[in-house]
Structure 1
């Protein structure tokens, strides 16, 4: 057995070595110097990112535009000088608000694409109806009932909403306004299945409870009120398998076909 008391030998030597090993200690002056160096590095990085031209915006990438009625250039134009200067200093919330101020934009996302690109993604409004005004112009409205464009003609494949109010409906304008009647017709147009919407040339409003669809070939659908549109759309889709000139889904539990 080797001589020596407990704690001696290889293990003891390691403990002794650790006890007498030199330790790195910084003086107050050393801490001060180190702090100054760190602050200088952070300051240089901040200047580089937020104030220098090294990470300037050099391009604005626009995604989501679907046709020439809303172009990437229009989006860039509304951003104005937000697309200038360091990318890190772009106010993304302000940029999004500016893009969403474009009538044809339903919503927008804006983010930084390092090192030099401002990224913009838009969701463009889709017309579900075109409301014919007294001046003959057509105001396009989306599924949410938001009007976003007025043009001389209605978009292809979009039903035209026309008010042909009965005397009773005119007398009740103080109760149900023209705007409410239009909104009801737009809700009907928005709830139509795509195959039916493409065939619907017009959505005619005679009163709140008497809305009618004019399909191609002289076919008429008596829709009734804008209530229960989803149910009525399903019933109509099934009825269209039967050839007729008149369909009535105003009471979807008791539909009728004639002609």
Structure 2
């Protein structure tokens, strides 16, 4: 009984456990089916949402409207988002005033370097060309002004004024003519004047250029200060510096003082004759024309005779000439002072002697 009971108990227990297991299995199968249906339902809902979103995007696109931003956490369809055409936007922003689009410049450094070298060569070539042109212009201008006939001095256009019988025009022309055929820009006026002043009898000279081909020479020619008369009766004209003037025939020597000498060349080297010539040159023209003879035995005994002995003036040497001339002029022109006297000695001008 015990065994049957045990056996029955076991069987009951087993019998009772079989139905429970079957129900449990069926319950699990139902749950699995319900989960499968749920998954299919969720998948269907996802596809429906995507389809609705696509239809919404298409609807907005067809209406020309941009889709609105989704709220935070909401579903966003990437296909519904608008994409900006950056290339078209860039071309639109870079369009010129005439609507022609300008591409953004792309710098090619190699090409840029070549362009710079080419530009540098052009600048150098231009500078060289300018330098050559300047040099050629300078050379041409130099030749034109200094070596062509444009400003050439012509002998026929040299004019002399102020010459007299003692200083001939031919002497001056000979000196000035040495500058002929030169450009006036190369003619030295100072050199011409210096040479002309060396002519005996010329006290001053000027040379003025007359463009384009002329030269004017003006001189002041003095008459002889004295005539040197030798024992044979020949006479030689000399100026204040003791220079012999050119020989002139048939010329009146009236009013020119005469100094008697033994030898012309030797006398011109003596101090006595030099002092006499200085005194004669300093005399006023009216008094010099009245001098008929001059003696100069020593340098401090120069004596002049006026109007063939009417007056005799002892000058001494050539010192204090202005004072001596003033004293002589006062004495000989005042009858109360000179009286019937003929000789006036002013070798000591502060103590003149009248006798």
Superposition TM-score, scaled by structure 1 size: 0.70
Greater shift in the superposed pair: 58-67 or 232-241: 58-67
Of 193, 218, 224, the match for 1:121: 218
Question: Over aligned residue pairs, what C-alpha RMSD do you find?
Answer: 3.3
Change (3 A) 1:101 1:60: farther
Matched residue count: 223
In the alignment, is the contact (CA less than 8 A) between 1:235 and 1:249 conserved in 2? Answer: no
Instruction: Please list every run of 5 or more consecutive structure 2 residues that lacks an aligned counterpart in the other structure.
Output: 1-119
Hey, what's the Cα distance between the residues in 1 that align with 2:168 and 2:152? 24
Runs of 4+ aligned structure 1 residues displaced above 6 Å come to: none
Answer yes or no: is 1:238 the counterpart of 2:330: yes
Kindly provide the CA deviation profile for residues 170-224 of structure 1, in whole angstroms up to 9, marking residues without a partner as x.
xxxxxx9971111122122123233222211111234444332211153132415
Hey, what's the Cα distance between the residues in 1 that align with 2:252 and 2:303? 19
The structural deviation recorded for 1:245 is 4.9
Secondary structure of the residue aligned to 2:133 is helix
* Map of 2:344 onto structure 1: 248
* Map of 1:9 onto structure 2: none
* Structure having greater relative contact order (Cα 8 Å, sep ≥ 6): 1
* Larger helix percent: 2
Secondary structure of the residue aligned to 1:148 is coil
Hey, what's the Cα distance between the residues in 2 that align with 1:221 and 1:185? 14
Hey, what's the Cα distance between the residues in 2 that align with 1:143 and 1:228? 17
* Map of 1:102 onto structure 2: 199
Hey, what's the Cα distance between the residues in 1 that align with 2:173 and 2:248? 24
Instruction: Please list every run of 5 or more consecutive structure 1 residues that lacks an aligned counterpart in the other structure.
Output: 1-24, 165-175
Hey, what's the Cα distance between the residues in 1 that align with 2:341 and 2:256? 21
Change (3 A) 1:161 1:56: same
Secondary structure of the residue aligned to 1:27 is helix
* Map of 2:76 onto structure 1: none
Change (3 A) 1:158 1:245: farther
Change (3 A) 1:128 1:136: same
In the alignment, is the contact (CA less than 8 A) between 1:49 and 1:86 conserved in 2? Answer: yes
Kindly provide the CA deviation profile for residues 23-62 of structure 1, in whole angstroms up to 9, marking residues without a partner as x.
xx98111111111222222222112112222222234433
Change (3 A) 1:212 1:54: closer
* Larger strand percent: 1
